Amino acid sequence: MDEISIESMVSLISNLGFPVVLVIYLLVRFEKKISDLSDTIKELNEAIRKRK
C-alpha cells in the first residue's frame, strides 16, 4: 500500500468506508516504522553488550 492511486483509494473508501480505510492505511504505515524501531533497538542492545 506504499503507492496507491487516487482511484484505488476512492474505490476502497466507497466499498469499506472511510474509518476502515484510514485504520488500514495507518496500520500499514506504522508497521514499517515499528519494524525499523525494533531493528534499531536490537542494534543498540548489541552495541551496549560489546562495551561491557
Confidence at residue 2, expressed as pLDDT on a 0 to 100 scale = 54
Q: Residues 18-38: pLDDT tens digits?
A: 888 889 888 988 998 999 999
39-49 residue pLDDT tens: 999 999 999 99
Higher pLDDT, 32 or 9: 32
Per-residue confidence (pLDDT) for residue 34, from 0 to 100: 93
Q: What is the pTM of this model?
A: 0.52
Q: How far is C-alpha 27 from the geometric centre of its chain's CA atoms?
A: 5
Helix runs in the chain, H state only: 6-16, 18-51
